[in-house]
Structure 1
């Protein structure tokens, strides 16, 4: 018998699809398996170059699988699988194409294909985006924008600050868009700095874009030289220096009467960051012709002055009209001032109710919103001056409270605020608190007591919960404006705080009965109510009321107490849900106790408000008196029993003696 060796050339049993559509950031596996004798070797090539394994590309399972994770631009292309042995070689090529857009920055925005059979083309993808560049004025700049697509009829458009470059008049004669999509600006000018964006499309999907910034540097230059500048006499004034420079100017040289001016050695003159001269107090001695590559004159003139000023306060009622007067006088040889009225808070004037006549202003049909400060502003080329007045509108609902602050504990939040205008001296203001849990649509309200108080504590809140609060004032005319919403989060029961009412889980040691309970996320029962302590003949009775809500979740109650130290458990066993009282027999007289009742569910609990109870000192004295009286009584009883015992013993002894002297006993003997 002789051996027979059979051989066979390679043939593919599994190959990847001819075209594979992917999205940037995806992961794919190209599977290529071949049969033959001897077993074929599998090799992988990308665009005619061997595939080099990397952090995102790997070859596995004896070369049959090419895995690519987190696909990037450079991973797009043709992948060829080659199977070879001693009998021959075969190959198969798969093309990997992006189906959709290129992500901008870190965001993936893609247009998925409904199926690989239907999606036979891909949108344009920017392969080489433009990059930020810095050029000197007069140089040439070129921004690249290389794109690929299937089909490859790519259209490239360039925009500067959102405007098509062909429509920018300043660029029209200096800009060129090349066939490869790149943008050329030659030469660049100082005004060409800005954001440039290229947009590519082949009609499939949305256009893709990428941006870059052009920074044009140029030497400092004077852009405007006024022949005369006016400064206000005996006030501060600025000699403007209109300079343009990139990078920003480092220093400016000033001359006066063709001599170098040294502001740092001159009193009352400072060079500002923009190169202008600041005169902290203008005097005629400081001024004269000055030049900086050009010459102009500075004149010292008297500033504007108000000849008519508004009253410091105007008080009117709702619906009435107010007229405020203002006028100013310019210096000789200067322009007449422009006088305008404005609100100090920046709010616009209601033009349909406001009339201006020169420097006077009239507001008709006054409303609550007209309340505030107003400014009369007079200005000309020399100076700008301002005077202010306050307008008070009476007979309105209260204005919104402001400066609302909050202090949170685990189960309560204390709010304080500053009152808004009450509506007039004849109106008394009361407050109401609006609050709700964050994310809940309905508001709850609590009136503030005592009336007129600007501080209140809202109790029975849940720990580690975010709440929203607003304060609203009210007078005889109705509700006023709500304050700004303030968001407050109550403390977690595990957070240590300095207030004397800790409700931390670790401050509430568990009794043996609930030592195995797990306190974690879960439905909470309601809050026990109206915890009180009452002294009765045989001790002290703690009573409370069941929660108004979720009382069906209660498994048992626990009573916690403390004096000067940590919280301790008062009850030895669990208190049943239907029981709402507990008798304490021994409390030390003259000592202060703090109590809480915990309503426990299966996985959580809620605590009542903490109450304080001071045990009367007479309880201690009563116990001492009872002890003394008991001791005396015990001593008396002991004496009586001792006397009785002695008498009984003596009586028995006499009986024995009498029995021994009886003659009948002698005869018998």
Structure 2
């Protein structure tokens, strides 16, 4: 009876042991799976820097539920805390004082826990760890440990490099540059220029026996980057850099004695100052009294402290002075600036809007002006609007009039007459046209295509009245040309529709005026897209067109995940490399291929960062030639898995299996207890035998 009950109603030890092994194996498998996904995140980052250089340690903070909460940041080197920050309070180990700063979060791709270590020394090499604590929640720490290993190279000459210093103007500045060998020669540079080329600075600075630099006294112009370069007997060299920050009271550096304002026009009165630390306040005085723009209608403060007058009138005449302030105070007010309100010039004679002449003729254009007060005479000048010089030896200016003799083709264009007095400059335009000259051909043709249409854009040869354009186009495998007229003379683009997908077309633009046809532009060839939206392989199907040589598309486009981001690489075009100007990289996402980013580079690689998980991205590279022709590569499709979702699901599976294992263990214990009680009760009910 005991054997029957034990076999049918109680779990055997072997069965329970097998269940227990299954649970342990499943938990181990899922832990291995999750750890495999996160293995790349746990890999340390190896960095290299030279003595005297600086290095940035990038530390991303992992907030619970991705919601930022109060935290304390800690940096360790070989388990010794070297830097920490909490609620704005920073603690720095003495060895790193003045050499370690917290980077601005979210800029240049650095995380909120990133730091920058400057003036690297030999002793800075080793293991570093970034760690974050959450004092107001449980647990107080998360998986935020980020490891770095720093290797210091090039430490063969310098023992102690210079370090950044901040001092007040007039104090002494000391930059150490101590070498390991006293026979090593040390030279100093400021902003890349030898120190002895700064005449004023060289008289206030000298170099000590150990190579260190001393500046005494310092001036505000001494602010900048200083570099010491050490060279030994064998010609080996090593350099280190440091920055000198000279602080001083805000001071006025320039103030004009007299400024003219144009009556009825806007005006700006500047206060030319220098301030380090930055400006905190700026005060204006007028005629010896405080001038507050907030109490004067039509006068406003600009962000830099300048006074802006929206409409000048006679009441703005007077003596002005400005006084700048910063955290250190002020060096005093500026000298008085005499503001004089003067009426702007007024044209009394204007040239005609248009002068039409034939080759070899003479044109006379008249212009004259007076000051607004009717007393003074402004200065009158003639010039070409395109900044080209007036025809040498063929033009005469008398007063405000200009005469151009023996007109040539190049004389056509826009001319300007300007009248200037102390307060303002006014301008009037006129155009000189030469008869029987066809317009210059359009140039710089560019195109974008779809499956059934092409958009053509160009730059006009001349901008002039009565100018018309027509687009000539044909499939490259036929001889018949078609034309489309552009109705507006101000339009420099056209759309050609009803084209065949996946077919190459040739385009030219003709400019015309009422005197006759001009010249055709250079030809441009482009493919329409395939029916699936992709471009054909240009490297196989495109050909050159005489002088307007084309370029092939980039090939072998690929995208790989690296520690710094997604590395996009490609190979140069198979033809047209000699006219390659630059590459344009574009990446889109989603089924609608929404544009995410675009960049221009001359290299054949680029690192793209901050791509979203659980998204599909499309990459494409354009090769741009010197004549602005574009050739597109085939698209590369990149699908980024939802790592965070996989991590969450895996953790959920582990928790569920652990709960299931606990339930099995509880059930086993209950069944075992019940079996023992049942067997014990059965034994007690057995009849006694004599």
- TM-score, scaled to structure 2: 0.44
Higher helix share: 2
Higher Cα radius of gyration: 1
- TM-score, scaled to structure 1: 0.45
State the structure with bigger RCO (CA 8 A, min sep 6), 1 or 2. Answer: 2
